Structure 1
Amino acid sequence: MSEQRLHVGRSLLSGGLWMAALRWTMRGIGLVNTLILARLLMPSDFGLVAMAATVVGLVEVLGWAGQWEALIRHPDPTREHYDSVWTLSLMIAASLTLILWGMAEPASWYFHEPRVAWLIRILALRTLIGGFSNVGVVTFRRNLRFDQEFTYQLLQRLFAALVTVGFAVWLRDWRALAAGILAGRILGVALSYVMHPYRPRPCVRRIPEVLGFSTRMLGISVSQYVNDRADELAVGSLGNPGAMGAYNIAADTATAPIAETVLPVTQALFPVFARIRDDPAAMRTAYLDVLSATCILSVAFGGGMALVADDFVHVVLGPQWLMTVPLMRVLAIAGGLYAIMQNGIPILTATGHERLAVRLTATRAVSMVLAVAAAALSDNAMTIACARVAVTLAFIPGIFLTLARVLPITLGDMMARIWRPMMAGLVMAVCVLTVHAAAPDEPALRLGIDMVIGATAYVTATFGLWGLIGFPSGLEAAAVNWLRARVALGGVRISQHNTPK
């Protein structure tokens, strides 16, 4: 069993590193893309496309029924299973495309923007095209081949970015963003057949079996999307494309560091936890290590972005985006809290507690909708952002209590992984704010100083607190052992199985 745990640990680390590398590479492409587009297009252009994309995504989520995850979880899927999943995905895509065409006009009325209807009809083609994707690429994740998943996702993003920038230089309006979205999906489908030799064919024989699992996953997907996008829908109801664009860019930029470091690990959790679902001790160790890493990175990036938001916008996005600074501060905190909360959901689904996961995500989605709808009455995007923070913070204890019921983990175990990053984050904030007040009034220079001071203070406080309580397992231990292995410092390796004091 110890060999299995070692293999699982390596798989989790390898998968997380590959997915983190993927997300960071894609974010690097996206950042350059955003920097160029932010200077070629106006906030209203981003807002218009965000309105249409939010509606398209809300309908598309009905196609994320977990049919591919059913293949990952199945102990020995046959060709009939793969072909049935592909057929089901294509049927769903065709149905959702028709639904989107029917929703185009009502959506334009909701957003008070007639151009949204035309955009939704165009973006609906993305849904239909996506239904033809080669189901064979699911084996990248099933077999934990995250290096192949890396290449597959990277090429899609790179092509879409190049097309979007090219159209932006030519058209100088929102049509460039729509073209990039479609181009990325077309290449993604083509790549799925180039990168995997599997050739699906129509089959309906295993659809009822697949639906047995995927219908429960659908509830999670829908609830998750509503929770993620309810605030943008509320901002869109204000009928101001400029405000929608500012909110969309603020949310995307503020949460980018977390989305590209913490959430990739969450993506790698499902296939790993599915393999060790019958080993409670391995599940406990794996989850607590993931929680430790999640908290450390979430506080670092969420708190760090909130502290440097003003200078970051000046330097990276430009003065035309200064209205996003207050939003970025609040949404960066929301993103950090979300990452801490979210990594418990894959464990519930991988261990057979899908119904429990559905209830949690559905309750959270309903709470989020009610909160942001009430906040929208103020006609203020900042109030909506604050509502998101409040709901996310309120649900963290519920997630932890639920995990304590289904896993051999106590609330004390989880709190032992949380308090140190929180204290280190407080030290970072005090140091950055103190130095910031005395720094030169030059945004680029001040941003660099704040980042160096913040990173130094946070790392020092994190490792100091870790040593103070006896070097327990977690990200700190993994980092030290990795460093020792690379520089051959020698000495006794720090155990990955110590219990926090």
Structure 2
Amino acid sequence: MNSSNNLRHKTITGVIWTFFEQLLRVGIQTITTIILAWFLLPADFGLMAMTAVFFAIANSLMDSGFSQALIRKKEVDQTDYSTAFYANLVLGLLAYLLLFASASLIASFYNEPRLVMLVRVVGLVVIINSFQMVQVADLTRNLNFKIQFKVTMPSAIFSGVVAISMAVMGFGIWSLVAQMLMSSFAATALYWIVNKWRPSKDFSVESLNEMFGFGSKLFLSSLINTVFQNIYIIVIGKLFLATLVGYYFFAQKLQQVVVTQLTNAIQKVTYPALSTIQDDNKALKEFYRKIIQVVTYIVFPCMIALVVLAEPLFSVMLKDDWLPAVPYLQLLCIAGLLYPLHAINLNILKVKGRSDLFLYLEIIKKLMIVIIILISVQFGIFGILVGQIVSSVLAYIPNSYFSVKMIDYSVSEQLKDFIPTLLLSITMGVFMYVTGSVLPIGNFAYLLVIGLAGTVFYVLINHLLKMPAQLLMLQIIKEQYLKTGHNHG
């Protein structure tokens, strides 16, 4: 296998490996959340959701783009790593102090006094995370995702067991707080055990300035993105009851099991891998085309199937208190269809080192979101959800624009690479809905029978039509099998 094919194989396989690693981890977290939903109220989840945006902002400040700068640098030494490590610690402490001081203001904004203590306790996660950022960047830079899997899975299981135990004992919302703290603490401890990198006394102002020069723009982009990722929770929390925030938050967590984890997998793997060929536009374009085909082959049918199966899924897994969240999940799944494509296009800018354009693009898209929210909020919470779908579709235009400029990957070529898969996924969804409507079966049987029927239908039609995405998936699986067999031999 030549170097070009080897990089393509490592990149796409890495996306798939990381996706399923994150899918398993978040799957465990989701199972934990579902169990917790039997013991907690929707309003409890709503209160935690209200703290999410401020915690995420603090986490972004703690990182400040240093991890991305480390990953992208062609040559990194011990001084660079140590400099980033100490910078993260100082910024993490600063971020927590800001959270602590602003807790009362946050509680006043939502008119929820209970948020004061919640914000101050949950904020401790930021300090804990500051000890793991460089460890994760080191592993990611070396494409060592297997070790990360060995860290995240035990952490998710441990924190889930603690949270469920506390919920059963009647600790209420604090079981959700414990889940966040224990997950972060366990992951940080394990990263220091399994990864051998250790900080030294080296610190370089020159290295700090170089990394911050690149990372600061990504930090500002991340900060803006974090606020706007949570802006719907902010708006819903301000204008509606905590219970409705809980419905939205819970539905969003289920949607994120697939779409957000796949997006994270794309960014996590393609960024360090393709940074090594950042000057070869032809190779970059070819890799990105393959990635889009593989990603949409996975995410489109998953999102469409979740739309169809949402109601029986809630009926089987949850108490009736949560049924009003079904349409929230369905609309969020439609909005999430294009998220991985946004990530792929934005990654091109990072690989090319154009963090300035990345920032400008984020500002343009967020101004567009503000306008859509101002219009959609007048139609209530479902107007806000439909507005998310509109925002996602419109955001694809500026996101894809720079792919044309940077690597000559036109919008028409992108559409050609994913529209057939989208149409097949919608066809699968219609087949599932029609089949389910004529079969007199209960909710549990509906999930099993219709879910399986949809999967078989999708794979079979792809096979009959010889769709490139499925052929590529089979090729990757075959290459991985042969590679594994060769290694064992």
TM-score using structure 2 length: 0.92
**Following superposition of structure 1 onto structure 2, how do residues 94-243 of structure 1 map, counting pairs within 5 Å?**
94-133=93-132, 135-201=134-200, 203-205=203-205, 206-243=207-244
**Following superposition of structure 1 onto structure 2, how do residues 329-344 of structure 1 map, counting pairs within 5 Å?**
329-344=330-345
CA contact (8 A) 2:30 2:257 kept: no
CA contact (8 A) 1:298 1:340 kept: no
**SS of match in other structure, 1:237:** helix
Partner residue of 1:479?
A: 473
CA contact (8 A) 2:263 2:343 kept: no
Q: Percent identity?
A: 21
The one-character-per-residue Cα deviations of 1:268-288 (angstroms, maximum 9, x if unpaired) are 110011011122221111100
Deviation at 1:366, TM superposition (A): 2.8
**Following superposition of structure 1 onto structure 2, how do residues 311-322 of structure 1 map, counting pairs within 5 Å?**
311-322=312-323
**Following superposition of structure 1 onto structure 2, how do residues 25-104 of structure 1 map, counting pairs within 5 Å?**
25-104=24-103
**One-letter identity of the residue aligned with 2:252:** A
Deviation at 1:256, TM superposition (A): 1.7
Change (3 A) 1:297 1:412: same
**SS of match in other structure, 1:198:** coil
The one-character-per-residue Cα deviations of 1:333-368 (angstroms, maximum 9, x if unpaired) are 111122222221112101122111211222222322
Find the aligned partners of 2:323 and 2:339 in 1 and give their Cα distance. 25
Which runs of 5 or more residues in structure 1 are unaligned?
Answer: 489-501
Change (3 A) 1:167 1:82: same
Find the aligned partners of 2:88 and 2:367 in 1 and give their Cα distance. 27
The one-character-per-residue Cα deviations of 1:219-253 (angstroms, maximum 9, x if unpaired) are 22112212321111111112522111111001111
Partner residue of 1:412?
A: 412
Which runs of 5 or more residues in structure 2 are unaligned?
Answer: 483-489
Find the aligned partners of 1:165 and 1:50 in 2 and give their Cα distance. 18
**One-letter identity of the residue aligned with 1:430:** V
Partner residue of 2:296?
A: 295
Find the aligned partners of 1:200 and 1:485 in 2 and give their Cα distance. 38
- Residue 364 (str. 1) matches residue 365 (str. 2): yes
CA contact (8 A) 2:251 2:326 kept: yes
Find the aligned partners of 1:455 and 1:227 in 2 and give their Cα distance. 34
Find the aligned partners of 1:401 and 1:170 in 2 and give their Cα distance. 53
Change (3 A) 1:328 1:384: same
CA contact (8 A) 2:46 2:247 kept: yes
Find the aligned partners of 2:448 and 2:319 in 1 and give their Cα distance. 16
Deviation at 1:441, TM superposition (A): 4.7
Partner residue of 2:10?
A: 11
Deviation at 1:119, TM superposition (A): 0.6
**SS of match in other structure, 1:277:** coil
Partner residue of 2:485?
A: none
Find the aligned partners of 2:476 and 2:222 in 1 and give their Cα distance. 36
Change (3 A) 1:485 1:139: closer
CA contact (8 A) 1:427 1:461 kept: no
**Following superposition of structure 1 onto structure 2, how do residues 260-299 of structure 1 map, counting pairs within 5 Å?**
260-261=261-262, 263-299=264-300
The one-character-per-residue Cα deviations of 1:394-433 (angstroms, maximum 9, x if unpaired) are 1112222221111032333212112211220231132122
**One-letter identity of the residue aligned with 2:364:** T
CA contact (8 A) 2:131 2:188 kept: yes
**One-letter identity of the residue aligned with 1:322:** L
Change (3 A) 1:222 1:486: closer
Find the aligned partners of 1:98 and 1:31 in 2 and give their Cα distance. 30
Deviation at 1:17, TM superposition (A): 2.8
Partner residue of 2:487?
A: none
**SS of match in other structure, 2:287:** helix
The one-character-per-residue Cα deviations of 1:310-343 (angstroms, maximum 9, x if unpaired) are 1111112232210101111100111112222222
**One-letter identity of the residue aligned with 1:176:** S
CA contact (8 A) 2:47 2:115 kept: yes
**SS of match in other structure, 1:199:** coil
The number of residues matched between the two structures is: 480
CA contact (8 A) 1:61 1:221 kept: yes
**SS of match in other structure, 2:353:** coil
Partner residue of 1:497?
A: none
Find the aligned partners of 2:197 and 2:263 in 1 and give their Cα distance. 32
Find the aligned partners of 2:133 and 2:220 in 1 and give their Cα distance. 24
Find the aligned partners of 1:482 and 1:406 in 2 and give their Cα distance. 27
Partner residue of 1:259?
A: 260
Mean Cα displacement is larger for which, 386-395 or 189-198? 189-198
Find the aligned partners of 2:282 and 2:224 in 1 and give their Cα distance. 30
- Residue 397 (str. 1) matches residue 391 (str. 2): no
Mean Cα displacement is larger for which, 256-265 or 223-232? 256-265
Find the aligned partners of 1:100 and 1:487 in 2 and give their Cα distance. 49
CA contact (8 A) 1:269 1:347 kept: no
CA contact (8 A) 2:294 2:473 kept: no
Partner residue of 1:491?
A: none
Greater RCO (Cα-Cα under 8 Å, separation 6 or more): 2
Change (3 A) 1:447 1:296: same
Find the aligned partners of 1:76 and 1:56 in 2 and give their Cα distance. 32
Find the aligned partners of 1:355 and 1:484 in 2 and give their Cα distance. 40
Find the aligned partners of 1:487 and 1:361 in 2 and give their Cα distance. 40
Find the aligned partners of 2:56 and 2:10 in 1 and give their Cα distance. 31
Find the aligned partners of 2:477 and 2:54 in 1 and give their Cα distance. 46
TM-score using structure 1 length: 0.90
Change (3 A) 1:372 1:59: farther
**SS of match in other structure, 1:40:** coil
Change (3 A) 1:241 1:363: same
Mean Cα displacement is larger for which, 68-77 or 385-394? 68-77
